[in-house]
Amino acid sequence: MADTSPVGLHRVLAPAGALPQAAERLDASPEIGVDELRIRVERLNLDAASFRQLATKHGGDGDAVRREVLDIVATRGKMQNPVTGSGGMLARVVDEVGPKSTLGLRVGARVATLVSLSLTPLQITDGLAGWDGQSEQVPAEGHAILFGRSIAARLPDDLPSALAMAVMDVCGAPALTERVVRGYPAGARVAVIGGAGKSGSMSLAAARRAGARTVGVVPVEHEAALLREVGLADSVALADARDPVALSAAVEQALGGAADVTVVCVDVPGCEHGAVLSTADGGTVIFFSMATSFSAAALGAEGLAADVTMLIGNGYLPGHAELAMDLLRTVPAVRALFERRLSAETG
């Protein structure tokens, strides 16, 4: 076994010097280095922004979506949507562990990767025959490689793996939301844009546990009804996040003022200005959506003379997977929303 870079530089085929996430092509060959680990893939979970882009591009033609995913993986050695730059995650059985791997996982363990597919060497061997191209949940056979510094978590035995994966996929959002909300006084006003989705519902639960008053903002009535029914947010508001004036009016009405913390969890472009306008001076906007435009956010805040802190949502915080699994186990509304969503996706 060869000596290898803990961040996977030795797997980068092009361009030279890039990290795996920025690389155009990775070497996904199954032979592992001393600190690497090979996983036998059973399921991929595509990033929501990536799946939406593919589904829209192909007008919902599942066969075309499947062919493009196969083509991306074969060409790039990883599942990274060239348009959105995003990937997803995967599960599940550890196949081989390098002698110097520090990930603490044994052969046969059921795991989910907590680093993005966009930097994970991947080969697919079954042509995705079990996938209809209509859902982010992709049954798949093949293998993937984890580096020395990758993050993977054991899948819990007491939960269906699709449920655990869906939770782990967004576990950065509640962890960062909790950290930011705890930086404000108790009773802080928190708006979660896209509050009925996976990262949104987790963020609502985390904000409430951190002592916030919350509003979940959703674009359509059936999501509002769902959110009201499970009672995850202190209030629920209906607004199009791409309409800055409508969004900020809805947030202010629900919270009795602009938000101290606004969490953006909707995977559509054009939500930056509404989020800034919904946030009070001295407040914080956390952007988790991969559809966020850096320049739109930066110039939007400047143009509105808004003294708000804007965070790029980092998918990694220490303990993030444990925190998310704990929310799933202790907040019935979160589990209810995730289970409905999963049954809708696979049903």
Q: How far is the CB of 296 from its own copies (least distance, A)?
A: 6
Check residue 243 for interaction with its own copies (CB under 8 A): yes
Region label for 289, one of left (φ > 0), alpha (ψ between -120 and 50) or beta (otherwise): beta
Kindly tell me which residue out of 64, 70, 296, 336 binds its own copies, with binding defined by CB under 8 A.
296
Check residue 9 for interaction with its own copies (CB under 8 A): yes
Q: What CA–CA distance (Å, rounded) separates 69 from 127?
A: 10
Query: What residue spans of the chain are helical by DSSP H?
Result: 48-57, 62-76, 161-169, 172-181, 198-209, 221-230, 244-255, 272-277, 294-303, 320-330, 332-346
Q: Which of residues 138-167 bind its own copies (CB under 8 A)?
A: 149-151
Check residue 290 for interaction with its own copies (CB under 8 A): yes
Query: What tokens were used for 260?
Result: 């101290």
Check residue 13 for interaction with its own copies (CB under 8 A): no
φ/ψ of 99, rounded to 5, equals: -65, -25
Q: Angle at Cα 342 formed by Cα 337 and Cα 345, nearest 5°? A: 125
- What binding mask, one character per residue, do residues 76-105 give for its own copies by CB under 8 A, x or -? --------xxxx------------------
> How many Cβ atoms are within 10 Å of 286's Cβ, its own excluded?
25
Part of the chain binding its own copies (CB under 8 A), chosen from 67-75, 158-166, 290-298, 324-332: 290-298
Residue closer to its own copies (CB basis): 171 or 333 = 171
Q: What CA–CA distance (Å, rounded) separates 221 from 230?
A: 14
Kindly tell me which residue out of 108, 299, 322, 330 binds its own copies, with binding defined by CB under 8 A.
299
Kindly tell me which residue out of 79, 128, 308, 324 binds its own copies, with binding defined by CB under 8 A.
308
Check residue 293 for interaction with its own copies (CB under 8 A): yes
Residue closer to its own copies (CB basis): 97 or 173 = 173
Check residue 302 for interaction with its own copies (CB under 8 A): yes
Q: How far is the CB of 105 from its own copies (least distance, A)?
A: 15
Check residue 186 for interaction with its own copies (CB under 8 A): no
CA 309 to chain centre: 21
Cis peptide before 110 (omega within 30 of 0): no
Check residue 279 for interaction with its own copies (CB under 8 A): no
Check residue 270 for interaction with its own copies (CB under 8 A): yes
Residue closer to its own copies (CB basis): 136 or 335 = 136
CA 189 to chain centre: 24
Query: What tokens were used for 256?
Result: 């009795």
φ/ψ of 289, rounded to 5, equals: -70, 130
Q: Which residues of the chain form contacts with its own copies (CB under 8 A)?
A: 7, 9, 17-22, 84-87, 114-116, 118-119, 149-151, 172, 242-246, 270, 272-273, 277, 287, 290, 292-318
